[in-house]
Amino acid sequence: MNIRPATLDDLAAIYEIEFQEYNHRGYDFVTFRQFLDIFEGTFLVAEENTKTGFTVSAISNNCRDGWVLSLLVRQKIQSANESCLQVILLQPECTITIIIMTITAL
């Protein structure tokens, strides 16, 4: 599994994954485009043969708090979720002590 920063070329696949899971209740394409600029370095794509999933996260300025805004995989692949979280937690300039996740049940 390869985890890397998202790029413009990834947005169509990311939106497809989001739409398949949440339909019109999820983030729209424009929001994902904005995430690329706002969350550079913590908007990640997981790949295993194809684009498998993505995560969008934020880290506070003091590097103590982290937020996972979205974490979604195309198939229920637990290793993709775990790998994305590990990359977020291992940001070289930060020691995150708290991760705040909002989980919505559909």
Please write the tens of the pLDDT for every residue from 17-68.
888 888 888 899 999 999 999 988 889 888 877 777 888 888 777 777 777 7
Is 74 contained in some domain? Answer: yes
| pLDDT band at 87; cut points 50, 70, 90 | low
CATH of the domain at 97: 3.40.630.30
- The DSSP letter of residue 88 is H
Q: Is the pLDDT of residue 97 over 50?
A: no
Residue 46 inside a domain? The answer is yes
Rounded Cα distance between 24 and 27, Å, is: 8
Is the per-residue pLDDT at 96 higher than 50? no
Handedness of CA 11, 13, 14, 15 (dihedral sign): positive
DSSP structure class, residue 104:
-
Instruction: Identify whether 67 is part of a domain.
Output: yes
Range of the domain at 38: 2-101
Cα gap 98→23, rounded to integer Å:
30
Residue 83, domain member (yes or no): yes
Asked if residues 58 and 40 have their Cβ atoms less than 8 Å apart, the reply is no
Number of domains in the chain: 1
Measuring CA to CA, which residue among 45, 42, 95, 87 is closest to residue 65?
95
H helix or E strand, kind and range, residue 26: none
The yes-or-no verdict on residue 9 having pLDDT over 90 is: yes
Tell me the pTM: 0.69
For residue 32, the model assigns a pLDDT of 94
Q: Has residue 106 been placed in a domain?
A: no
